[in-house]
Structure 1
Amino acid sequence: MDRQRRYRDYESHDLVGTAKLRGWLTTGAIEHQILAGVEVSRFEQDWLQLRSNVDDDT
């Protein structure tokens, strides 16, 4: 008779965000385009895994 029980607890927490900025700047005869950006978002995951090969009928 072989019995096994397994327990796994997965957890993940992430935070990311986005912001973009675009503009133009002229210096003398030259025109420059300025680009800047930031990214932000949030993600959370909690997962519990319980496994068993034990026969419940015994």
Structure 2
Amino acid sequence: MDVSEVLHDVTGVFHRAGTRGRADGPVPEHADYGSFASFGDPDGNGWLLQEIRTRLPGR
């Protein structure tokens, strides 16, 4: 199972399917909830990992 390189959304909000608006590398200054990596499992499901260093209140 291969994991993608780290990526972020150029608008700062990852909210769409596909690759439009994605940029290589982590979000500037590693802002919480802004950097992602993806992979697929053996069953064909797609997964998206999200970097969170400090959780928002209530989460």
Q: TM-score, normalised by structure 2?
A: 0.25
| Greater RCO structure (CA 8 Å; 6+ sep) | 1
Q: TM-score, normalised by structure 1?
A: 0.25
Structure index of larger Rg: 1
Q: Normalized per residue, which structure has more helix?
A: 2
